[in-house]
């Protein structure tokens, strides 16, 4: 039940941020950084997903494509990520891509903004290519204007005579903002409250999370049946 509430509230937050008009970003790009030299089969590699943007953004929705014959996805390290609230935690989607989305409370602009680090196991020799078939980012302009950011693929080599690399696999962890949402939901659940949650950033209210009202109405209807 708690997970349903969180998903509903997160969806409300991201819907508010994602109400948008598509435009072409000029100075923005999403890209990977990874092994500079060939790695040996059996290696564990860490590949960063990063963002450069001249314009402040406060949300993103991405998919990462990778070859399943040469790479096995292990986990997603979100330590030091610019993302504060994860609506969709990194996971393999039905289409085989790794998908994730989230919001940034104080917005972000700058270079080398770390979104997260993908951990892969190198299975066999080859030249795996990582791509971003979906790279939606959203302006911190009060309207959630959607931007189609350019992307850069990454290709690296897996060879029998390559370097054996064993990068630590760091699991995904809930952020302080995610944990606070969980606490607020528990409080609302205990109090039976129908009040609207308001989350505040340093610049003021980020968004009104009215999804809890929808959840409570739905719950009451189910109880009356």
- Which pLDDT value is given to residue 145? 87
Q: What is the mean pLDDT of residues 202-214?
A: 35
- Which pLDDT value is given to residue 147? 83
Convert the pLDDT of each residue in 116-171 to its tens digit.
999 999 999 999 999 999 999 999 988 888 888 899 999 999 999 999 999 999 99
Rounded CA gap, 225 and 215, in Å?
A: 16
Rounded CA gap, 197 and 186, in Å?
A: 13
- Which pLDDT value is given to residue 222? 52
Enter the DSSP assignment of 224: H
- Mean pLDDT of all residues in the chain? 81
Spell out the domain ranges in the chain. Answer: 19-155
pTM given for the model = 0.76
User: What b-and-e string marks burial along 3-30, b requiring 16 or more CB atoms within 10 Å of the CB?
Assistant: eebbebbbebbbebbbebeeeebeebbb
Task: Assess whether pLDDT exceeds 90 at residue 2.
Answer: no
Convert the pLDDT of each residue in 70-95 to its tens digit.
999 999 999 999 999 998 999 999 99
Rounded CA gap, 56 and 2, in Å?
A: 32
19-155: CATH architecture: Sandwich (2.60)
More confident residue, 25 or 153: 153
């Amino acid at each position: 039940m708690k997970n349903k509430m969180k998903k509903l509230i997160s969806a409300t937050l991201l819907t508010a941020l994602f109400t948008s008009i598509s435009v072409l970003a000029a100075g923005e790009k999403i890209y990977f950084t990874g092994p500079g030299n060939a790695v040996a089969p059996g290696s564990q590699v860490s590949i960063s997903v990063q963002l450069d943007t001249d314009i402040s953004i406060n949300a993103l929705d991405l998919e990462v494509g990778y070859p399943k014959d040469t790479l096995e996805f292990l986990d997603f390290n979100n330590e030091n990520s610019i993302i504060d609230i994860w609506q969709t935690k990194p996971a393999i989607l039905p289409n085989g891509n790794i998908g994730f989305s989230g919001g940034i409370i104080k917005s972000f602009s700058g270079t080398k903004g770390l979104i997260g680090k993908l951990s892969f196991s190198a299975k066999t020799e080859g030249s795996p290519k990582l791509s971003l078939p979906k790279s939606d980012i959203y302006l911190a302009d009060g309207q959630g204007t959607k931007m189609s950011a350019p992307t850069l693929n990454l290709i690296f080599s897996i060879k029998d005579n390559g370097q054996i690399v064993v990068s630590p696999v760091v699991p995904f962890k809930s952020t302080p903002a995610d944990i606070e949402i969980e606490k607020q939901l528990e409080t609302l659940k205990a109090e039976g409250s129908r009040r609207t949650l308001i989350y505040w950033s340093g610049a003021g209210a980020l968004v009104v999370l009215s999804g809890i009202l929808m959840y409570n109405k739905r719950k009451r209807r189910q109880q009356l049946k």
